[in-house]
Amino acid sequence: MRIEMKQTMLASFLVLGVALGQSGTFRAIDVPGGYNTFVWSMNKAGDIVGIYSTENALPVGTTNYHGFKLAADNYTTFDYPGAVSTEAYGINNRGEIAGRYRKADGVYHGFTLIGDQFQTIDYPGASATVGWGIGPAGEVVGNYTLGGVFHGFKLSGTQYVTFDPPGSTLTFPMGINSQGEISGATTIGGISQAFILSDGEYTLISVPGSTFTNAVGNSSRGDVVGRYLVGGVSYGYALRQGIFTSIKIPGAAFVGAGAINERGDIVGRYYNADGFYHGFLVTGALPECQSFAPRIALTQGSVAVTHSSTFRLVNAASPAAPGEVLSLFASGLGPTRPSVAPGQVFPSSSISTVASELEVRVNGKPAEVLGAVGLPGTVGGYQVNFRVPADAPKGSLALQLSVGMATDLVKLVVQ
């Protein structure tokens, strides 16, 4: 599956404050009487769910929590009957809620809350189950623990389907949109990255330059939100049509986005200098503009990636090999040094090197970029040479080309 990302731009940083003016509006969310508030999900109507504590204890897992729903500025709190901790993680457009609870025995179970009726979710044979997201028909996605390993599941009615991205050692499905597309986090080859599962095919996503990326929520329009790590610091992000927007809150040591609805409203949580977690809601802040638009070209019905030694196309009949040097051909990589005016042909008499920071990832792992230049004799064409990571697994892998924080994604066959 080729992910269409027609509008992209260079690094975009959304810095949230009490009022964003033309950049959007920001609202802190704190359950009255609570010490820490974590906002996890929101539906099309703007109803918000999350968790809060009545104990001043951190980190998560060392205290007990209660679920809450915020609708039309009214807070409603709830607990699973007999539970010592109840955590709400997902809400769909019908107002149905998914999450997990824990009783005194310390075992986690998933749940749904429909109206005022709770229903327990326990994956067969699992030592723990978590319900994260809930879809339009009440289907639940989440993870279960078996033999100390986290796996993903989708529950439709009474039918469980389990899934894990190929090569993964950990799977956390966290969101599902109205089209049934699932977002989450996975670890493959020691790299923690986000994934989208659509029509049975996985797309891996990493914020350029990050060491960790997850995808907590996704909307029906294709927007994705989550958090990422750079230098050990956690930031939120939103991905819209190829634009990664970093979410930073002044004075916060931790920011994570949890959901985005069809209107583009974003919710999440942050850890402030006051020593407490707070929820947030931001509206009207995502950019719709276009700047750089990295796009890997298509030729003969395939992506334009070749073996550098022969310039033969990489495809199922001629796959790439781990450690091999490949060449990809693209557009929208921006200015070069020396510069060539827009609309002019890249010369063959000199090398026009791409001026912007560029990154290539294979299956979420950074690849060595050996060169990125304007392709002589073309207008707006570029060639990027890179080395496939030596430990790349076999299969149809995600190939991600990024300039700044603008991204294009295609598939690369490695054998």
Q: Which pLDDT band holds residue 359 (cuts at 50, 70, 90)?
A: very high
Domain positions in the chain are 12-283, 295-414
97-127 as b/e: b if 16+ CB within 10 A: bbbbbbeeeeebbbbbbeeeebeebebeebe
Q: Which CATH superfamily is domain 12-283 in?
A: TolB, C-terminal domain (2.120.10.30)
So what's the pLDDT on residue 289? 45
Structure confidence by residue, pLDDT tens digits, 121-147: 999 999 999 999 999 999 999 999 999
Structure confidence by residue, pLDDT tens digits, 183-217: 999 999 999 999 999 989 999 999 999 999 999 99
Average pLDDT of span 304-327: 97
So what's the pLDDT on residue 58? 60
Q: Reduced to 3 states, what is the DSSP secondary structure of residue 314?
A: coil
- Whether 232 has a pLDDT exceeding 70, the answer reads yes
Query: Among the listed ranges 21-30, 221-230, 253-262, 296-305, which one has the minimum average pLDDT value?
Result: 21-30
* Mean pLDDT for all residues in the chain: 90
So what's the pLDDT on residue 57? 63
Q: Reduced to 3 states, what is the DSSP secondary structure of residue 415?
A: coil
Q: Which pLDDT band holds residue 179 (cuts at 50, 70, 90)?
A: confident
Task: Give the tokens for residue 30.
Answer: 């704190």
So what's the pLDDT on residue 284? 83
Q: Reduced to 3 states, what is the DSSP secondary structure of residue 22?
A: helix
- N-to-C CA span, the chain: 19
Query: Among the listed ranges 77-86, 172-181, 284-293, 373-382, which one has the minimum average pLDDT value?
Result: 284-293
So what's the pLDDT on residue 9? 27
So what's the pLDDT on residue 291? 56
Candidates 2.120.10, 2.60.40, 2.40.10, 1.25.40; CATH matching 295-414: 2.60.40
Q: Which pLDDT band holds residue 59 (cuts at 50, 70, 90)?
A: low
Task: Give the tokens for residue 51.
Answer: 């968790």
Structure confidence by residue, pLDDT tens digits, 391-413: 999 999 999 999 877 889 999 99
The fraction of the chain above a pLDDT of 70, given in percent, is 91
Top pLDDT among 46 and 15 is at 46
Q: Which of 408, 379, 412 is closest to 397 using CA atoms?
A: 412
Q: Which pLDDT band holds residue 169 (cuts at 50, 70, 90)?
A: very high
- Whether 270 has a pLDDT exceeding 90, the answer reads yes
